[in-house]
């Protein structure tokens, strides 16, 4: 799960607490909560089934038949760009539309072409068009056989990005709550923020969830002229693919789901599992530094150094090298433990920590992590997509504190994962169009699920659980190494995924790909 908002470094997430009720009240509350959760999941499942029946057939085909007018991209003429008009509200297929922007690199061997490979970018908020403009991202064999196509999902970049007033956005409270007053402040702020974003974005603001993106995907498939979909998605992009598998099970040719979101988790389970994942990645970094003399902190107590930096940040006394006028909050400092472990790039992480502790500043020192004020008149707010896919609303500060305590227990060094913990306050009171539920896949096509054992952003357990939810047609590839995203990591992971995409050859269930030790210290992707 990676996302970039204007004024912030890639992604964020939060956590909550509970009152000391009597045993009777606690028991009743637990029972009531169980019924509410069960009802929500059943409602979501029935809603998905109803939507699949109503919208899963003719509407997307008709919209797709409008086609895409391709032309050389202004930024890179060797790549083709185009747009496809899709309904803002798929329940009204003849209603107002939004233009989805797409980019395509055509197959290098037209005579061997199988079809199109539609890729789903992460985030939420990442641009698939930018990905294609930079490179295809796939092996020579895949490029030979497929047109590589991607797009900016609805609400992102060139496809009607969620836009808010910078003057409102910049009044955002501190992400970590410490009292009911903080909770109340966030509720009031979110009400104003969401109203402002809805006014500037327009009707699309209420239709940017991943189920709607999945319908867009099917319209794109039809527009590309493919009878069935071949797709690859990574991180948050896997959620739209999961929704596609539910809504259009018989239109899947091949689908690679790399580093998955788990849409079955409630707010607490979401935050605690994320905390455990980022702590695991930090543990791996510390272990590398202890055994590798190439680490600039080798021989030092890295955990103690990290704790000291967090304490200094808590006091407002930590500044980023080269940016003395902007203190680094503890919440933003935690971002370093996520971003530097997604590659991973442990060498740079160690150098950055040493610099923060008063040591030499490396030439490749990254910029300050986390959130910052937005310059200009407008701010983009892709977090709204997450808010429509996950119910993260909390009824009180006590509930928030309970989640935060559990996250702290799972991450004694990292405290919590700042990506979702920072996002949760922003989602308070936001309508949830695509609420959490367990997946139900009824198609016959095998699905390929990939996961890294040490992923700080989409925990390994998420992909493993998604594979179980999808059922016997899902095959899990286990990469026994580090980082976020497994395609292209090693020959083992890449060849297995390539063979599946090209010839539909399914690897053995539970395939284990050894870690590439060369990538442990510094990613080469």
**What is the domain count for the chain?**
1
Contact indicator for 232, 256 with CB cutoff of 8 Å:
yes
Spatial distance between the Cα atoms of 437 and 449, rounded to a whole number of angstroms:
18
- Is it the case that residue 115 has pLDDT exceeding 60? yes
Q: What is the distance between the alpha carbons of residues 280 and 288, in angstroms, rounded to a whole number?
A: 12
Q: Model confidence at 519, in pLDDT bands (50, 70, 90)?
A: low
Q: Which of 341, 364, 342, 343 is nearest to 352 (CA)?
A: 364
Give the residue ranges of DSSP H helices in 56-179. Answer: 58-64, 128-134, 140-145, 166-169
Nearest to 248 by CA among 208, 225, 217: 217
Split at pLDDT 50, 70, 90, the class of 190 is very high
Strand locations in 433-493, DSSP E?
A: 447-454, 474-482
Most confident among 368-372, 437-441, 516-520 (mean pLDDT): 437-441
Q: Is residue 322 very low, low, confident or very high in pLDDT (cuts 50, 70, 90)?
A: confident
pLDDT at 28 over 50: no
**In which domain, by residue range, is 228 found?**
1-525
Average of pLDDT values for 169-184? 96
Mean pLDDT (the chain, rounded):
89
Per-residue DSSP letter, 203: G
Q: How far is CA 90 from CA 56, 98, 207, 229, 251, in A?
A: 10, 11, 9, 19, 18
CA dihedral sign, ordered 287, 292, 294, 300: positive
Residue 369: band (very low, low, confident or very high) from pLDDT cuts 50, 70, 90: confident
Q: How far is CA 113 from CA 65, 67, 133, 134, in A?
A: 21, 20, 21, 22
Q: Which single residue is written with the structure tokens 């357990």?
A: 461
Number of other CB atoms surrounding residue 323 within 10 Å: 12
Please report, for the domain that includes residue 124, its CATH number: 3.40.50.1820
Residue reference for tokens 């510094």: 522
Q: Give pLDDT tens digits for 121-142.
A: 999 999 999 999 999 899 999 9
pLDDT tens-digit map of 220-259: 999 999 999 999 999 999 999 999 999 999 999 999 999 9
The answer, yes or no, to whether residue 2 has pLDDT greater than 90, is: no
pLDDT value of residue 240: 98
- Per-residue pLDDT, 1: 63
Residue with tokens 């798929």: 90
CA distances from 412 to 186, 223, 271, 302, 406 (A): 26, 50, 14, 14, 10
d(CA 247, CA 91): 14
Which band of pLDDT confidence, cut at 50, 70 and 90, is reported for residue 46? very low
Q: How far is CA 216 from CA 136, 233, 364, in A?
A: 21, 14, 40
Residue 228: name the closest of 262, 253, 257, 249 by CA: 253
Higher pLDDT among residues 33 and 342, named by residue: 342
């Amino acid at each position: 799960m990676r996302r970039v908002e204007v004024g912030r470094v890639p992604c964020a997430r939060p956590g909550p607490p509970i009152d000391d009720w009597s045993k009777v009240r606690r028991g009743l509350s637990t029972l009531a909560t169980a019924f509410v959760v069960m009802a929500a999941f059943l409602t979501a499942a029935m809603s998905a089934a109803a939507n699949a029946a109503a919208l899963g057939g003719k509407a997307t085909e008709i919209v797709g038949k409008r086609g895409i007018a391709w032309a050389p991209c202004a930024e890179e003429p060797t790549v083709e760009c185009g747009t496809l008009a899709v309904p803002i509200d798929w329940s009204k297929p003849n209603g107002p539309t939004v233009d989805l922007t797409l980019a395509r690199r055509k197959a290098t061997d037209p005579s061997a072409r199988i079809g199109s490979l539609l890729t789903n970018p992460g985030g939420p908020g990442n641009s698939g068009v930018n990905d294609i403009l930079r490179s295809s991202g796939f092996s020579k064999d895949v490029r030979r056989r497929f047109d590589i196509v991607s797009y900016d999902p609805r609400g992102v970049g060139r496809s009607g990005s969620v836009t808010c007033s910078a003057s409102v956005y910049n009044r955002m409270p501190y992400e970590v709550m410490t009292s009911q007053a903080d909770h109340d402040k966030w509720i009031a702020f979110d009400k104003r923020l969401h109203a402002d974003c809805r006014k500037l974005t327009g009707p699309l603001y209420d239709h940017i969830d991943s189920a709607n993106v999945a319908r867009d995907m099917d319209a794109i498939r039809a527009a590309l002229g493919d009878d069935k979909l071949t797709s690859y998605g990574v991180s948050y992009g896997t959620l739209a693919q999961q929704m596609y598998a539910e809504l259009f099970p018989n239109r899947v040719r091949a689908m690679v789901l790399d580093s998955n979101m788990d849409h079955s988790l409630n707010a607490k389970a979401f935050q605690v599992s994320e905390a455990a994942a980022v702590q695991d990645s930090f543990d791996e970094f510390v272990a590398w530094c202890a055994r590798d003399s190439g680490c600039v902190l080798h021989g030092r107590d890295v955990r103690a150094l990290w704790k000291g930096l967090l304490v200094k940040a808590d006091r407002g006394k930590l500044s980023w090298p080269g940016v003395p006028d902007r203190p680094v909050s503890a919440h933003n400092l935690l971002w370093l433990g996520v971003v530097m472990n997604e590659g991973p790039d442990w060498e740079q992480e160690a150098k950055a920590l040493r610099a923060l502790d008063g040591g030499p500043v490396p030439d490749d020192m990254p910029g300050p992590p986390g959130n910052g004020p937005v310059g200009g008149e407008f701010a983009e707010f892709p977090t709204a997509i997450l808010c429509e896919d996950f119910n993260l609303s909390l009824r009180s500060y006590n509930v928030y504190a309970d989640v935060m305590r559990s996250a702290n227990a799972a991450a004694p060094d990292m405290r919590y994962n700042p990506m979702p913990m920072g996002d949760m306050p922003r989602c308070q009171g936001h309508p949830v169009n695509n609420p959490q539920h367990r997946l139900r896949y009824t198609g016959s096509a095998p699905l390929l699920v990939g996961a890294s054992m040490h992923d700080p952003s989409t925990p390994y357990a998420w992909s493993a659980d998604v594979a179980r939810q999808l059922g016997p047609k899902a095959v899990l590839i286990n990469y026994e190494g580090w980082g976020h995203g497994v395609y292209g990591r090693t020959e083992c992971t890449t060849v297995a995924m390539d063979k599946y995409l090209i010839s539909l050859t399914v690897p053995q269930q539970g395939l284990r790909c050894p870690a590439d030790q060369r990538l442990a210290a510094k990613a080469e992707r």
